[in-house]
């Protein structure tokens, strides 16, 4: 993993998850899995966030919220879709109100499989996101 110049700040949003994936995201923050060892800070404010961790599929209720959260995050930013619902709609993809995965509405950089996604897979996805965030920062710096 590339050297990180700042602590990445993470925003976690539960789009329409059954809470299974969210419990696993929260488990990553506990001392057992300890994502803070990567310098990660959990924030509730999209204007402070570098990485969006999102669970659940996209539907009529959350589409505007997801767009709004994403648009408030400063560039560069990275989106991690956690669990099969966020990836594709999962078992709910044919429901009348489900539009599909998160990439139906915003760009997704990392897909974490599983139902529920396991903490080890989520941490792997976050580490990939950190690498992508650094790449995006470097590309932005070159354009300045
Ligand atoms: S992927 Fe499975 S555990 Fe995660 S939100 Fe969907 S149904 Fe729940």
Q: Which domains does the chain have, with CATH numbers?
A: 4-143 (3.40.50.12280)
**Residue 19 neighbours by CB under 8 Å, 6+ apart:** none
CA distances (Å), origin 89, targets 8, 37, 51, 108: 27, 31, 21, 14
pLDDT tens sequence for the chain (144 residues): 555 677 899 999 999 999 999 999 999 989 999 988 888 889 999 999 999 999 999 999 999 999 999 999 999 999 999 999 999 999 999 999 999 999 999 999 999 999 999 999 999 999 999 999 999 999 999 988
| Residue 131 buriedness (CB in 10 A; 0-12 / 13-18 / 19+) | middle
Which residue's C-alpha comes closest to atom 6 of ligand 1? 85
Q: How far is the CA of 30 from the centre of ligand 1 (A)?
A: 20
Q: How far is the CA of 28 from the centre of ligand 1 (A)?
A: 16
pTM for the full model?
0.94
Mutate which of 56, 81, 94 for ligand 1 pocket (most atoms within 8 A of beta carbon): 56
Mutate which of 14, 15, 17 for ligand 1 pocket (most atoms within 8 A of beta carbon): 17
Structure-token pair, residue 125: 């996805």
């Amino acid at each position: 993993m590339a050297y990180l110049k700042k602590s990445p700040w993470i925003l976690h949003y539960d789009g329409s998850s059954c809470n299974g994936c969210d419990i696993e995201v929260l488990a990553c923050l506990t001392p057992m899995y300890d994502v803070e060892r990567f310098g990660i800070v959990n924030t509730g404010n999209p204007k402070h966030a570098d990485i969006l961790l999102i669970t659940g599929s996209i539907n009529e209720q959350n589409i505007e919220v997801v767009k709004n959260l994403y648009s408030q995050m400063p560039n560069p930013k990275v989106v991690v879709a956690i669990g099969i619902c966020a990836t594709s709609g999962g078992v709910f993809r044919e429901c009348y109100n489900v539009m599909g995965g998160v990439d139906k509405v915003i760009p997704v950089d990392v897909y974490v499989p599983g139902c529920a996604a396991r903490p080890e897979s989520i941490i792997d996805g976050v580490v990939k996101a950190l690498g992508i965030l650094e790449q995006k920062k470097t590309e932005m710096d070159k354009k300045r």
